[in-house]
């Protein structure tokens, strides 16, 4: 009884602290971050792990310390990364996941979660246009791209799973020059090598096109390399651009290549009828990465790889020497472990299933459409401002801009300094990238609770902070 009382009291206190923290984050009342340098944070927090434990008294105290210095990713001024916002149904699913603490390798230990994951995969497959398919949840978009490359390699070179790649020619993969760096990591891990990733130039809208792929193919073959895969990006990290998926599909069919579509960032746009044209040609792809922890606002990590061939994941991933886990029985066909590179794997299906149950297809479509409206609104604000400049034509939900500086001041340095000033002062977190025309502030619109008023406040604050910085900035010497 005493343990029960302690547990209930600790949980009640922690949940109250979390709720208060969320409230101040969602309303924007608190700074987006109470910024401290690593040295300052180490001095303020007692991070040592001692021989004698502090017991239940430490739980609430350490919770409070952690929350005081955590980045408020649900804050209306958190516009920094490809995740953010707050999703109540998914949050509850995450809490239940931790409380039940199971693993996804067998139906036996995760019966409901297994059926939920299978339902989610089938639901996502219904958007691809494929007649058959399979899939699974993985530890991020980088790993979905890795597994896609592994499946492509093993599908085309049938002995690679058992014999390795030492007897194969030098292999090559085509990607956009703006593709995610995970493709390089995947090539390293699968034995292709980073030099086997051929970066294809993009057009003025940041899109990889069929003609550029054909040119790259000719040059690659001249070097004695053997292409086996092409990866289209559905939403680049810097500009949100979509490669011409249909042209890449034509290219892959002509040359018998595996076609992977990396929708880690933009994949959820497929939920909106207005944006489905961006995915033209997906029905002819072999695999598709989709990260609900981004545009569907599911707590990290929640990533899915979809594959057209319904059997290939079990055939090319599974091993057959684990009878201490996998037993032949009435439910073994429901075991998800043989199709995963992991053994222990946390439940990521519950939080997504609960959120999709909460919002439904229509609700998620409305959320996505609201964000596309906000991207248009932000772009217009920049174009109408005399103090800001658009650095790249807005493609989807990435808005690239920066503050205009007087002639003679280094614009790249000024805007980078401005970005860090906003973070140090807790006013906003917004990232930057480097484009062909210089450093760009990269505004990411993925929090569906944002409003036009929130964006008005952000841009007003951004310009005001820039003007204050300009007064004390080193002026050019003439």
Query: Is residue 125 included in any domain, yes or no?
Result: yes
pLDDT at 237: 96
Assess whether 259 and 361 both reside in one domain.
Answer: no
The H helix count followed by the E strand count for the chain is 14, 12
Q: How far apart are CA 256 and CA 228, in angstroms?
A: 8
pLDDT at 187: 95
Whether 166 is in a domain gets the answer yes
Same domain as 182, residue 327: yes
3 state DSSP class of 149:
helix
Q: What is the dihedral of CA 347, 350, 353, 356, to 10 degrees?
A: -110
Are 215 and 303 within one domain?
A: yes
Strand order in the sheet with 388-390: 78-79, 429-435, 438-444, 398-403, 388-390
327 and 377 belong to one structural domain: no
Eight-class DSSP state of 74:
T
- Bridge partners of 199, per DSSP, are 175
Domain end (from 347, 375, 407):
347
The SS3 call for residue 239 is: coil
Considering the domain architecture, whether residues 208 and 177 belong to the same structural domain is answered as yes
- Of 23, 48, 155, 92, nearest to 353 (Cα)? 92
- Whether 332 and 364 share a structural domain: no
- Determine contact, residues 249/223, Cβ cutoff 8 Å: no
> What residues make up the domain containing 240?
102-347
CATH number of 430's domain: 3.90.1150.170
* Residue where a domain terminates, one of 330, 347, 364: 347
Please tell me the total number of residues recorded for the chain in this structure.
478
In a domain, 67, yes or no: no
Backbone angles phi, psi at 306, to 5 degrees: -110, 140
Whether residue 387 sits in one domain with residue 327: no
- pLDDT, position 336: 82
Q: By CB neighbour count within 10 A (0-12 exposed, 13-18 middle, 19+ buried), where does 13 fall?
A: middle
Neighbour-count burial of 392, counting CB atoms closer than 10 A to its CB (0-12 exposed, 13-18 middle, 19+ buried): buried
In a domain? residue 382: yes
What per-residue confidence (pLDDT) applies to 1? 47
Does the residue 78 lie in any domain?
Answer: no
Q: What angle do CA 464, 418, 409 make, to 5 degrees?
A: 95
Give CA–CA dist 219/214, Å, rounded.
9
Tell whether 75 is covered by a domain: no
Same domain, 274 and 245: yes
Q: Bridge-partner residues for 171, per DSSP?
A: 226
> pLDDT at position 477, please?
57
Q: What is the pLDDT of residue 74?
A: 96
Residue-level pLDDT, tens digit, the chain, 478 residues? 467 888 899 999 999 999 999 999 999 999 999 999 999 999 999 888 888 888 888 899 999 999 999 999 999 999 999 999 999 999 999 999 999 999 999 889 999 999 999 999 999 999 999 999 999 999 999 999 999 999 999 999 988 888 888 889 999 999 999 999 999 999 999 999 999 999 999 999 999 999 999 999 999 999 999 999 999 999 999 999 999 999 999 999 999 999 999 999 999 999 999 999 999 999 999 999 999 999 999 999 999 999 999 999 988 888 766 676 777 788 888 878 888 888 899 999 999 999 999 999 999 999 999 999 999 999 999 999 999 999 999 999 999 999 999 999 999 999 999 999 999 999 999 999 999 999 999 999 999 999 999 999 999 999 999 999 999 787 765 4
Q: Please identify which residue in the block is written with the tokens 């292999």.
A: 171
- Asked if 60 and 10 count as a contact pair (C-beta separation under 8 A), the reply is yes
Give the start-end residues of each E strand in 154-225: 171-176, 197-200
Residue in the structure block whose two tokens are 């105290």: 61
Query: Of 298, 319, 347, at which residue does a domain stop?
Result: 347
Q: Is the residue at 265 inside a domain?
A: yes
* CATH number, domain containing residue 112: 3.40.640.10
Same domain assignment for residues 194 and 224: yes
The sheet with strand 303-307 has its strands ordered as 134-138, 303-307, 287-290, 258-263, 226-233, 171-176, 197-200
**440 in a structural domain:** yes
Radius of gyration of the chain (CA): 24
Specify the residue for token string 């300094």.
417
pLDDT computed for residue 340 by the predictor: 87
For residues 309 and 362, state if they share a domain. Answer: no
Number of domains composing the chain: 2
CA gap 33, 70 in Å, rounded: 7
Nearest residue to 448 via CA among 361, 354, 364: 364
Residues 332 and 372 in one domain: no
* Torsional sign, CA 134, 138, 142, 146: negative
> Residue 364 and residue 357: Cα distance in Å, rounded?
10
Q: What is the pLDDT of residue 6?
A: 87
Tokens standing for residue 237:
């990290």
Residues 276, 413: one domain?
no
CA angle 460, 443, 450 (to 5 degrees): 70
User: Would you state the pLDDT for residue 95?
Assistant: 96
């Amino acid at each position: 009884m005493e343990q029960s009382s302690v547990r209930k009291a600790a949980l009640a206190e922690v949940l109250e602290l979390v709720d208060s923290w969320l409230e101040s984050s969602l309303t924007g009342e608190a700074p987006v971050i109470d910024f401290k340098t690593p040295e300052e944070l180490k001095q303020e927090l007692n991070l040592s792990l001692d021989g004698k434990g502090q017991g239940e008294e430490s739980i609430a105290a350490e919770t409070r310390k952690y929350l005081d210095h955590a980045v408020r990713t649900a804050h209306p001024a958190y516009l920094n990364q490809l995740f953010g916002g707050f999703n109540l149904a998914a949050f509850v699913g995450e809490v239940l996941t931790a409380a039940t603490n199971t693993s996804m390798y067998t139906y036996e230990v995760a019966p409901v979660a297994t059926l939920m994951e299978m339902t989610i995969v089938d639901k996502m497959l219904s958007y691809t246009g494929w007649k058959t398919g399979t899939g699974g949840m993985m530890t991020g978009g980088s790993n979905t791209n890795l597994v896609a490359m592994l499946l492509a390699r093993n599908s085309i070179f049938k002995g690679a799973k058992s014999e390795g790649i030492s007897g194969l020619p030098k292999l090559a993969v085509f990607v956009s020059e703006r593709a995610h760096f995970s493709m390089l990591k995947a090539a390293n891990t699968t034995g292709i090598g980073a030099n086997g990733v051929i970066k294809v130039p993009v057009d003025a809208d940041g899109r990889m096109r069929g003609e550029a792929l054909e040119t790259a193919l000719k040059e690659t073959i001249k070097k004695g390399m053997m292409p086996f895969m092409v990866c289209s990006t559905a939403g680049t990290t810097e500009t949100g651009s979509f490669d011409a998926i249909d042209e890449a599909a034509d290219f892959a069919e002509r040359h018998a290549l595996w076609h992977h579509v990396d929708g880690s960032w933009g994949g959820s746009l497929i939920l909106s009828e207005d944006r489905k044209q961006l995915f033209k040609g997906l029905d002819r792809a072999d695999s598709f990465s989709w990260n609900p922890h981004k545009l569907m606002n599911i707590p990290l990590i929640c990533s899915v790889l979809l594959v057209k061939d319904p059997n290939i994941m079990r055939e090319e991933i599974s091993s057959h020497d684990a009878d201490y886990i996998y037993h032949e029985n009435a439910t073994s066909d429901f075991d998800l472990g043989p199709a995963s590179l992991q053994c222990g794997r946390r439940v990521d299906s519950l939080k997504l299933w609960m959120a999709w149950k909460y919002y439904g297809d229509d609700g998620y479509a409305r959320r996505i459409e609201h964000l596309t409206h906000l991207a248009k609104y932000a772009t217009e604000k920049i174009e109408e401002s005399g103090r800001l400049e658009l650095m790249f034509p807005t493609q989807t939900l990435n808005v690239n801009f920066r503050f205009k500086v007087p002639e003679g001041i280094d614009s790249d340095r000024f805007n980078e300094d401005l970005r860090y000033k906003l973070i140090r002062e807790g006013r906003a977190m917004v990232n930057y990238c480097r484009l062909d025309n210089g450093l760009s502030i990269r505004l990411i619109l993925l929090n569906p609770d944002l409003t036009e008023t929130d964006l008005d406040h952000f841009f007003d604050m951004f310009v005001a902070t820039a003007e204050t910085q300009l007064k004390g900035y080193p002026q050019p010497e003439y």
